[in-house]
A and B are shown apart, each in its own frame.
Chain A
Amino acid sequence: MTNILSGLVLLVFSAVFWLGADAIPKSPLSGSVGADGLPKLLAVTLAVLSVGLILQSWLLMRRSTAAGKPVAVGGEGEEPPRRHMRAFGILAIGFGFAAIFEYAGYFASVAVLLIAVAIFYGVRSSRKLLVYGLAGAAVFYLIFVKLLGVVMPTGEIPGLSTWL
């Protein structure tokens, strides 16, 4: 069933991609095949493969049902939604970091990220955790900003950016 749904989503995506390719401006500098040539070819190829995936999965499902076997819905082990929630949780932490990065500056953002990931994995909030976050941020700051000379944002928090 998951494969059939994936196939349908990909089929819709291939149509959207085709429309996007069609909207690419034509240029007199293009040859016989313009900038939209390969994208359109890829959209058609994806559509064909998606239909193939849908058909293959449907035939397998039919065979399984005919043999009296339960049809797998997807997910293994514990409840799939809870498993994926954890994955999205770590991703959300990443998006949070990207959101505060330029405002808070490199040092503060890294400290927050280190602490947030540790808490996410079950480490209890404590002074030790705060020290770990700050020390870790200091190490990365020294490596990237001082040693490698990478220009990282200093942030817009008054006082903090001056101090750094």
Chain B
Amino acid sequence: MLEHLSYVLQGASNWQTLIAAIVGVLWGMLGGSLPGISTAIAMSLVLPFTFGMDPAAALVMLGAVYIGSEYGSSIPAILIRTPASGSSAATVVDGYAMHKQGRGGEALGLSLVGGTVGGLIGLLMLTFMAQPLSKVALLFTPPAYFSLGVLGISVIASVSRGAVLKGLIAGVLGLMMGTIGTDPLSGVSRFTFGTPELLDGVPVIVVMMGIFAISELMDQAADGGLDNLTIEKKSSRLKLPSLKTLWRLRVAQLTGVIMGLIEGLTPGGGGSIAAFMSYNLSRSWSKEPEKFGKGSEEGVIAPETANNVVALTALIPTLAFGIPGTGTAALLLAAMLIHGLQPGPMLFSAHPDVVYKLFGGLFIANIGMFLFGLVLLTPVIWLVNRPKAYLRGAIFVLIFSGVYSADGSTVHLYILLGIGLFGYLLRVLGFPFLPFVLAVVLGYMIESNYRRSLLITGGDHIVFVQDYLSLTFLVIAALFVFTSMYSQLREKRQQSAEESAAQLNAHV
């Protein structure tokens, strides 16, 4: 215990993790405030630069970007009604209403304090829950790990609203991409087409930046208009809430904490789901529900608390089982794998220094977010107000520079663009890309445990049903998929019936 505490203190005081935390949270706030730069994109842009870093510092930097971005994305949401990412969409409603009433500074203050408090509570949960939960993973056999991976992808595919089949297809495509390269067991090359650069497979960083960043640039180009909405500096002065106000809003913050914990622990959950659910829950529990939608303080602090709780609690299943709680946590998992860190109980015994330094670094990142949030509003507003034509060019350069700096290969630039095109097609055709991303990250774990399981039984697939944990996971996966498909079918039938009734009434 004392040893762990010393690692936490090291993480909070070591110069490498300090710089990583500060740089990460700064970039998270700046990058996260730019509409079109989601948290995942902000993290993927930084990922190549973490390759040469100390593993703990690398994870701290990415975690800090995650934390900073959750606050950063609320700034344009409140000031120009433009959420920079999905997780701040719930803040737009009441945040922008407050801004129109001349209370934009108050809304920003609520977002900052709610986010900081949420982040610190989430960090406490992460610190105390991750290791005990990881011990459960000791019960896992290769069949159980395989089925857990399948469960993770199935759950995320089933929450793809109205498109479960497409979510599953995207997951399968991601697993297919994961088979490119050298077979880990026999050393045979697969689907490399004689390209030496593909012998190690398609680098995860190329996949992440292609799917998230390049496809986003294409999507923004397709939208055509440059929505050069600008923020008025004078109406955006930050105003922190008093302790009395925070006490009055305690129930709303509590809903954010509860929803953030539930969604962070659930694979496929995420900031946006937690934010909306906490918004709805706090409205149900509020003494003044009629104020929601018209500038309610609870309507701002609840989702913003939830966002930052999720940013930390999503790391619990990521560290404990290697199953990311959110798509953004999948990037952190990718970084762990790049640095040779295997999630699970062995992580805590083999690399306790990395894990606890991570916790210490994230503590600094949370405090840093609060302190920088007090002073950074002006440069953030300046950045958001830059003409989009120049900003998008700069983002393009950042993407290419990041990918090339990873291994100096021009072939990867072409692969990056190809994956970007694929990501754009997924968007246009209505396929969710989160299952694809998760499948790419989990692909090695799924295949290696699949093959190991069959090595044990001489090729007999019955092992996945005989192992009770594996069977449980497969049954839950099937339940998730079939329940979602049934709900989807029922919704469509209901919609059809309502439309037919409306048409009939129109004729009458």
What is the interface of chain A, defined by CB distance below 8 A to chain B?
2-3, 6, 10, 17, 20-21, 24-27, 29-39, 42, 45-46, 49-50, 52-53, 56, 60, 63, 67-69, 83-84, 86-91, 93-95, 97-98, 101-102, 110, 113-118, 120-123, 132, 136, 140, 144, 148, 150-152
Contact = CB atoms under 8 A, between A and B. Distances in A.
A32 B459 contact: yes
A150 B405 contact: yes
SS class, residues of chain B in contact with chain A: helix
B413 A101 contact: yes
Given A35-B186, A89-B221, A118-B390, 17 more contacts: A17-B176, A21-B190, A25-B188, A27-B186, A38-B450, A98-B413, A101-B400, A110-B397, A113-B396, A120-B389, A121-B388, A121-B392, A122-B226, A136-B393, A148-B49, A150-B405, A152-B405
B183 A117 contact: no
Interface residues of B, number: 64
Among A35, A53, A123, A150, residue most surrounded by chain B Cβ atoms (within 10 Å): A35
A94 B424 CA distance: 14
B508 interface: no
Contacts of B431: 6
B397 A140 contact: yes
Given A46-B176, A97-B400, A87 B169 contact: no
A31 B392 contact: no
Interface string B190-226: 1100000000000000000000001001110111101
A52 B165 contact: yes
Contacts of B214: 91, 94
A49 B224 contact: no
Contacts of A151: 408
Contacts of B447: 38
B401 interface: yes
A134 B7 CA distance: 46
Contacts of B420: 91, 94
B421 interface: yes
Contacts of B424: 87, 91
Interface string B251-264: 00000000000000
B175 interface: yes
A140 B185 CA distance: 42
Interface of B: 49, 165-166, 168-169, 172-173, 175-176, 179, 183, 185-188, 190-191, 214, 217-219, 221-224, 226, 387-390, 392-394, 396-398, 400-401, 404-405, 408, 410, 413-414, 417, 420-421, 424, 428-431, 447, 450-451, 454-455, 458-459, 492, 496, 499-500, 503
Contacts, number: 181
Contact of B165 (A49, A91, A118): A49
Contact of B459 (A33, A36, A89): A33
A128 to B, nearest CB: 11
Given A39-B179, A45-B172, A113-B396, A87 B218 contact: yes
B205 to A, nearest CB: 14
Given A120-B221, A122-B389, A94 B176 contact: no
A97 B451 CA distance: 41
B176 A42 contact: yes
Contact of A144 (B224, B226, B405): B405
A38 B405 contact: no
Contacts of B176: 17, 39, 42, 46
Contact of B186 (A17, A30, A68): A30
A33 B186 contact: no
23 contacts: A6-B429, A29-B186, A32-B459, A33-B450, A33-B454, A35-B186, A46-B176, A52-B165, A67-B500, A68-B503, A84-B222, A86-B224, A87-B424, A94-B417, A113-B400, A117-B389, A121-B226, A121-B388, A123-B390, A140-B397, A148-B49, A150-B401, A152-B404
Among B188, B421, B424, B454, residue most surrounded by chain A Cβ atoms (within 10 Å): B188
B221 A86 contact: yes
A102 B125 CA distance: 48
B179 A38 contact: yes
A50 B165 CA distance: 8
A56 B430 CA distance: 15
- For the complex of A and B, 6 pairs with smallest distance between CB atoms: A32-B459, A117-B393, A121-B389, A27-B186, A35-B183, A90-B221
A102 B404 CA distance: 11
Given A120-B221, A121-B226, A132-B390, A31 B188 contact: no
Contacts of B394: 114, 136
B52 to A, nearest CB: 9
B307 to A, nearest CB: 29
Contacts of B387: 123
Among A17, A39, A45, A101, residue most surrounded by chain B Cβ atoms (within 10 Å): A39
Contacts of B430: 2-3
Contact of A91 (B218, B224, B401, B428): B218
Contacts of A118: 389-390, 393
A98 B424 CA distance: 19
B499 A69 contact: yes
B172 A136 contact: no
A24 B499 contact: no
B217 A32 contact: no
A44 to B, nearest CB: 10
A38 B177 CA distance: 12
Nearest to B408: A151
Contacts of A144: 401, 405
A17 B183 CA distance: 16
Contacts of B451: 31, 33, 37-38
B221 A98 contact: no
